[in-house]
Chain A
Amino acid sequence: MDILTPLSLDEALALKAERPDAQPIQGGTDVMVGMNFDRLRPPALLNLNEVPELRGWSRENGTVRLGAGLTYTEAMAPDLAAVLPALAEAARTVGSPQIRNRGTIGGNLGTASPAGDSLPPLLVEDAEVECASVRGVRRISLGEFVTGVKRNALADDELITAVVVRPSGAPQTFMKVGPRNAMVIAVVSLAVSAGDELRASFGSASPRPVVVRAPRSEASSFPDRVAEAASPIDDVRGTAAYRRHALRVMAKRALERCLA
């Protein structure tokens, strides 16, 4: 196995074009679990830790650009939490301090699990994913980026470079149901924002991202609409019926919280 460690984004894209079989590794909190258990043996790993362009976040004329290497700990910091509060709440529920210090937004999108906690809060903010290759840069909506359970729209030679959001400033929140407060994969999760338009997106309740939208005047029927939009399954963490019920209850509470 080869370890490739580019020192700039240009170098990273050149290497990815040369070695499309190289698996990116950022925080490693998903990749290393696979490696440690022999489930993952890519011919090469592309270590993105030394690419400065992927770090941190910045403001760009009205939008916020989250580097693919933004950690959950960074997303929880007060300056960014003020701009994207639901994302900060979601980040706080991820794993443990150790996981939040290493795990990244880019890695969460790379994994594209329906349980990925960064997805619902980014979806209600209509986030776009910036994908880059030596061929150029494109932006696609997060909803289109995730094409199925653990599948995404990246081409073999592409990397996720950033997530771009135009913060709505709307009251918003994130909730997650799990067996304890730390270290839980969501049984079901929900992000709600309540601006002029009500928006909701859930985790662990559909194979692909869904954003439910309604005018603010329809707040009373909104929890039912959220529950109906889900297509949950039965699995070891919970039943479909429970997930749907939990979504309805959570949506009601989330709206109360946001509209209070």
Chain B
Amino acid sequence: MRVNGVEVEADCWEGESLLFALREKLGFPGAKNACEQGECGSCSVLLDGILVCACLVLAAQADGHDVVTVEGLAEGDRLHRVQEAFLTAGAVQCGFCTPGLVVATADLLERRPDPTDDEIREALSGNLCRCTGYAKIFDAVRMAARDGSG
């Protein structure tokens, strides 16, 4: 598979998830492991450009496909505008949910550069945050959308 544009090979136990392979075998700890049952979204990555929970993809299913993790969003030292916006808006407390939210937000803005509040709510409905109470996260998404249009 390709992760963030680089061809990688992992020696996996057959039944393991893409999340486990990324974190434990391939050195991409960005996607977080919390629930392992698709409920929290902290493991969100893009698989062939589609937002998925890496904990629910069999590692072997990603064979021959493109995976983008949060590590792949920044360009060199320059953070992705969604990452910048999360920092500026103070949408990060413990930060555990942040990588998943950043990937989900980047995916939303790719499809909908100027989302309505309902669209933001729906797009992030699979990402749980236990710290911030979501208001700042909303601010960050709106800020990133503005940065993208300006």
By a beta-carbon cutoff of 8 Å, the part of chain A in contact with chain B is: 1-3, 5, 25, 27-29, 31-33, 35-37, 41, 45, 47, 49, 95-99, 101-102, 181-183
Contacts and interface: CB of A to CB of B under 8 A. Distances in A.
A197 B142 CA distance: 47
A33 B37 contact: yes
A35 B125 contact: no
B58 A47 contact: yes
Contact of B61 (A1, A28, A36): A28
Interface stretch (B2-10, B44-52, B71-79, B81-89): B44-52
Interface string B40-70: 0100100000111101111011010000000
A2 B41 contact: no
B37 A5 contact: no
Contacts of A181: 125
B123 A3 contact: no
Given A101-B51, A182-B126, 19 more contacts: A28-B57, A32-B58, A35-B15, A35-B17, A36-B36, A36-B37, A37-B37, A49-B61, A96-B41, A96-B125, A96-B126, A96-B127, A98-B41, A98-B51, A98-B52, A101-B52, A102-B50, A102-B52, A102-B57
Instruction: Name which of A31, A95, A96 has the most chain B CB atoms within 10 A of its CB.
Output: A96
Given A28-B57, A28-B61, A33-B37, A1 B51 contact: no
On chain B, which size bracket covers the interface? 20 to 34
Interface string B1-43: 0000000000000110100000000000000000011110100
Contacts of A33: 36-38, 56
Interface of B: 14-15, 17, 36-39, 41, 44, 50-53, 55-58, 60-61, 63, 104, 107, 122-123, 125-127
Given A25-B61, A45-B58, A183 B126 contact: yes
The 5 closest A-B pairs by CB, nearest first: A96-B126, A182-B125, A36-B36, A32-B56, A1-B14
Contacts of A96: 38, 41, 125-127
A29 B125 CA distance: 16
A27, A31, A47, A49: residue with the most chain B Cβ atoms closer than 10 Å? A49
A95 B38 contact: yes
A99 B126 contact: yes
B116 to A, nearest CB: 15
A135 B123 CA distance: 43
Contact of A3 (B14, B44, B53, B56): B14
Contact of A97 (B14, B63, B123): B123
Residue in B37, B104, B125 with the greatest tally of chain A CB atoms within 10 Å: B125
A97 B122 contact: yes
Nearest to B123: A97
Given A32-B17, A97-B125, A181-B125, A27 B58 contact: no
B43 to A, nearest CB: 9
A28 B56 contact: yes
Contact of A2 (B14, B36, B55): B14
A182 B125 CA distance: 6
Contacts of A28: 56-58, 61
